Amino acid sequence: MPGTSAANIENRPQRVLPKILFLPFALAFLLLLFTGNALAEEEALIYKNARDRMVRTQIKSRGISDPATLRAMESVPRHLFVPEALVPHAYDDRPLPIGYGQTISQPYIVAYMTEIVQPKPQQRILEIGTGSGYQAAILAETGVSVYTVEIIPELAKNASERLSRLGYGGIQVKSGDGYFGWEKYAPYDAIVVTAAAEYIPPPLLVQLKDGGRMVIPVGSPFFVQTLMLVEKHGKETVTHSLMPVRFVPFRRAE
Ligand code: SAH
């Protein structure tokens, strides 16, 4: 009937009961939200403490002193770069498996390789061997632009997604054979190679800026290798042996 609908609405029994019932639910929801947040904050604090301890006992104590490197190691959540089952070991003084037969390097080695290439804001750094993306995130935290190449497509995809999720979307990840570097963004101020090669891939030297620095483990796979620092001065390269290390092998695309 025309004209009666407004009156009908007015006369409808008020929905007082459901509104009252809603109140405890809303309160419970807010409480959950609050405790959820509090728990998340507490968890973040626990990991922050673990990171600070890691930096103190494994990194500063072994002589790493570059402030940018130390700040990066204190801030990147390493526990979000390891498989879930290994989260309790994320800040241990050792490498950890990340699947596909690969590893995330020991925290000290990541810090050492970062400090040795002397990253400065606005520089471009190429990493070969993205793996979990952790070393790339550490480099990015120092203010450089990071380009990273990974030969195992699944690792490249996972790392790229993880880096975006954690706010490192500026890092460019490419799936491919890092032997050839990444011509598109060359030359680089520094190159960090995180897999052990039998020799220094010549394309990487070409893509290194004059005055640039490359750090690379060189030696036979499955044996102790030598971490080398390579400095490029025009056509000359100067290499320094830094320390014995053990990295996963540098592979070649078939
Ligand atoms: N930087 C990594 C550690 C990765 S371990 C991290 O922070 O987690 C070394 C990685 O190098 C492995 O993921 C391996 O698949 C990759 N790799 C080996 N040979 C490669 C090549 N020729 N090009 C690109 N990546 C390579």
Res 128: pLDDT: 98
User: Is 145 among the residues known to form the active site?
Assistant: no
Return the residue whose CA atom lies nearest to atom 2 of ligand 1. Answer: 131
Residues 62-99, buried b or exposed e (16+ Cβ, 10 A)?
A: eebeeebbbebbeebebbbbbeeeeeeebbbeebbebe
Q: What's the chain's length in residues?
A: 254
Query: What number does the ligand 1 atom closest to the CA of 179 have?
Result: 22
Q: How far is the CA of 43 from the centre of ligand 1 (A)?
A: 30
How far is it, in rounded angstroms, from Cα 101 to Cα 212?
31
Q: Considering only CA atoms, which of 56, 93, 55, 90 is closest in space to residue 75?
A: 55
Is 126:188 a contact under the CB 8 Å cutoff? yes
Going from the Cα of 50 to the center of ligand 1, the distance in angstroms, rounded, reads 26
**What is the pLDDT at residue 18?**
63
Give me 163's structure tokens: 């880096």
Which of 138, 171, 159, 126 lies closest to 59, judged by CA? 138
On whether the pTM is more than 0.85, the answer is: yes
Which residues have CB under 8 Å from 197's CB, separation 6+? 216, 217, 218, 250
What are the Cα distances from residue 67, in Å, to 110, 148, 186, 213? 15, 23, 27, 19
- Mutate which of 112, 194, 200, 245 for ligand 1 pocket (most atoms within 8 A of beta carbon): 194
Q: Residues in the chain with pLDDT < 70?
A: 1-19
Query: What is the pLDDT at residue 14?
Result: 57
pLDDT of residue 253: 87
**pLDDT computed for residue 240 by the predictor:** 98
Q: Say how many Å lie between the CA of residue 131 and the centre of ligand 1.
A: 5
Which phi and psi angles does 129 have, rounded to 5°? 100, 70
* Terminal-to-terminal C-alpha distance of the chain: 80
pLDDT of residue 93: 98
Ligand 1 pocket, CB under 6 A: 102-105, 128-129, 131-132, 134-135, 149-152, 155, 177-179, 194-195, 248, 250-252
Backbone dihedral region of 36: left (phi > 0), alpha (psi from -120 to 50 degrees) or beta? alpha
Q: Residue 250 CA: which ligand 1 atom is closest?
A: 19
Q: What is the SS3 assignment for 214? A: strand
pLDDT at 137: 98
Ligand 1 geometric centre to CA of 129 (Å): 3
Catalytic residue (choose from 5, 65, 105, 145): 105
